[in-house]
A and B are shown apart, each in its own frame.
Chain A
């Protein structure tokens, strides 16, 4: 498998503020890569470096086999970008903007464009200044999804879309993936990334703190267990990897580290379990572990 995006240890300074601090990121061709992090963690800065709009102060960046700063124009023919906050020209209609972006990129598929306008329920005859934030977002999404490119760089692309449109968006990303496209999807909406991404990288204060498939990451975290047992369950607390045990009249709740799950399930069997709910960790929990437990470092970017 080849690598569509390969970032090695880049730094980016804005004045004295360090936006990126030794960031590494690899995205394999043909995958959907979730790029998760809170606001101000450096997601947009990373994407702008990938677009050659900003230049990294240190480190190495390869995009589709080229240098995004030096080969920007050549590479941009093979990618499409959707910013998180789309601004349109007030006196151009949405349809004009979509066509313009497609032509500036070097190609357009009018059938696909019209189909997407319909699916996203966008009236392309309205002027840019009359669109709501969600509709401006749709314009940029349609322009990106209608073009025949290898890579989609999406920076919080569904901010302002309603749940119905969010579903259409997810469908479109699956289609893009099936067509062999690579997608870098930055978001702080965890559910969206959870549903779509093959791989996830979590960024915090300018560096990647965790990367891997959702399954990989789940090994690193705790599973929530909710069980009803016949026998007193206090002995569970003595097992390795069990945290926060609560026992109310035979209804026990606790969390267990991923690699100790087998032993705990065996012990639950011995205790005469009658009901059992086991929930995988949500991305909220993954994030909480990274943003909730560690003390904040000073000097990093907001």
Chain B
């Protein structure tokens, strides 16, 4: 009788205390595979954005006089708020202006890239339950966080190299170009670290990216206040040093070429990542450090019909838009005086957009009214898109199975959004008015600004009704409504400089009311647009009397 020896494979005993990052390499390859589109889209996208700024500016600036015109505007406190500390602006070159004025926006994009990448591969995965499958394999506790931080660092490095290379390839100083690229990449790294902390706090991915995004916003504001103080020679310029974006801007590429502020960025990113590791060890898988709060066990008494439900569903978005437009209004309003000072020397095309040099104030305020109307148009279209989501995600069906008719359902969402439109325009106008009054020291334009904003209501209403009609007839083509908004934007801004004939304007709902206070408000246009919007909305309600399930 033969004896069979069975050799069982020997399983290595896990190393004592180690193995926390086992599987990191595999996970990193897996993440790269998942992000094979996203990775190049972010990195190339940011580099191309910078390239676009550079090309546009080189086309725009034809003579040294043009550069001087830019200095007057960018060197002002408002220019500092929306640009940066303006190193070397007294002896301006194109690359200094690019790094000092536009670098900020590329850096913000890089910050978003870093934080969204980390949230996507950690909390989103945990929330969806996919991470559970991963962690049940031979994967260490810290492997996922380590892999995503490695991924984010790689993305930051690629962005730094691409932007540095791009700037150097345009003939700008090589050292400054590399430093500028690195300063953009540093912002990505810092906010990847910030997100490594925020994903530990809440169970929900949106809360994690929201908290990290709020910190990015705070970084923008802090350095804005600091840079503004610096431009005025004030003492609060140290505020810039509290902001991770500020550290990147303080490198002053093409001027001082300082690398050392990036050491702060690196140290901060490392400390934040370490905090993320420490916090993640203190919580259960899938849980957050902040336990979810229970909500009300009963519905409020007012929540008793389709209109109340529509309001409840749009409430959070309305509050968000109100705050955002108020802030934007205040910011752009406070821009008024510096702009008037700066634009006296600005290139002609820019002045033409604002309605010519003799009406600069009214032109600027009127253009801002149109800008806010377009922004509120975005709100209206997004509100109609939530309607489509309600249907396709199965929440419309149980509501329509109660005593709520189809036309009451779509109608209540339309009413809430339609009331939201003048409200948001009023909020934006009030913000602009206060900002402009503080900036110019003259509150005389406040009433005109309110009127100029709210007068756009019928145009947005028509856009809203058209979106509702598209949704009611064929929800799939709803995105076509963006074309109307885009046309309104292009015509409204660029008709004077792009030689678009004025007759082409009748196609845009935004081209009829008039950009008050530069132009008078056309009562006829207001009445016609309101009537058209009402008819279109009614047609949408009637067209919606069809199958509502399985359309999308």
Given contacts A88-B395, A103-B305, contact A14 B550 (CB under 8 A): yes
User: Is the CB–CB distance between B292 and A103 below 8 Å?
Assistant: no
Contacts of B305 in A (CB 8 A): 103-104
User: Is the CB–CB distance between B316 and A72 below 8 Å?
Assistant: no
Contacts of B402 in A (CB 8 A): 76, 101, 104-105
Q: Mark B356-376, 1 if CB is under 8 A from A, else 0.
A: 000000000000000000000
User: Is the CB–CB distance between A104 and B297 below 8 Å?
Assistant: no
* A116 CA to B439 CA, complexed, in Å: 61
Interface-facing stretch out of B173-181, B306-314, B328-336, B489-497: B306-314
| Closest partner residue, chain B, to A54 (CB atom) | B547
Q: Identify which of B296, B303, B400 contacts A53 (C-beta below 8 A).
A: B400
Whether, in the assembled complex, A48 has its beta carbon less than 8 Å from a beta carbon of chain B, the answer is yes
Whether, in the assembled complex, B295 has its beta carbon less than 8 Å from a beta carbon of chain A, the answer is yes
Interface of A is mostly: mixed
User: Is the CB–CB distance between B397 and A53 below 8 Å?
Assistant: yes
User: Is the CB–CB distance between A77 and B299 below 8 Å?
Assistant: no
Contacts of A96 in B (CB 8 A): 295-296, 298-300, 303
How many contacts between A and B, using CB within 8 angstroms? Answer: 107
Q: Identify which of B292, B303, B405 contacts A130 (C-beta below 8 A).
A: B292
Q: Mark B370-398, 1 if CB is under 8 A from A, else 0.
A: 00000000000000000000000111011
Whether, in the assembled complex, B304 has its beta carbon less than 8 Å from a beta carbon of chain A, the answer is yes
User: Is the CB–CB distance between A100 and B549 below 8 Å?
Assistant: no
Q: Is the interface on chain B under 10, 10 to 19, 20 to 34, or 35 or more residues?
A: 35 or more
| Closest partner residue, chain B, to A97 (CB atom) | B299
User: Is the CB–CB distance between B405 and A73 below 8 Å?
Assistant: yes
Which residues of chain B from 495 to 552 have any CB-CB distance to chain A below 8 Å in the complex?
546-550
Query: Which residue, B316, B395, B406, has most C-beta atoms of chain A within 10 A?
Result: B395
Whether, in the assembled complex, B404 has its beta carbon less than 8 Å from a beta carbon of chain A, the answer is yes
User: Is the CB–CB distance between B394 and A83 below 8 Å?
Assistant: yes
Whether, in the assembled complex, A86 has its beta carbon less than 8 Å from a beta carbon of chain B, the answer is yes
Q: Identify which of B295, B306, B403 contacts A77 (C-beta below 8 A).
A: B403
| Closest partner residue, chain A, to B405 (CB atom) | A73
Whether, in the assembled complex, B343 has its beta carbon less than 8 Å from a beta carbon of chain A, the answer is no
User: Is the CB–CB distance between B547 and A55 below 8 Å?
Assistant: yes
| Closest partner residue, chain A, to B550 (CB atom) | A14
Beyond A74-B403, A125-B295, list 6 extra A-B contacts (CB 8 Å).
Answer: A92-B295, A96-B298, A104-B309, A104-B404, A125-B294, A126-B292
Which B residues fall within an 8 A CB radius of A? 203-204, 292, 294-300, 303-306, 309, 312-313, 316, 393-395, 397-406, 408, 546-550
The 6 closest A-B pairs by CB, nearest first: A99-B299, A125-B294, A93-B295, A104-B402, A81-B401, A87-B394
Q: List 8 A-B contacts (CB under 8 A).
A: A53-B397, A72-B406, A73-B404, A73-B408, A87-B393, A126-B294, A130-B203, A140-B398
Which A residues fall within an 8 A CB radius of B? 14, 48, 51, 53-55, 72-74, 76-77, 79-81, 83, 85-89, 91-93, 95-101, 103-106, 123-127, 129-130, 140, 153
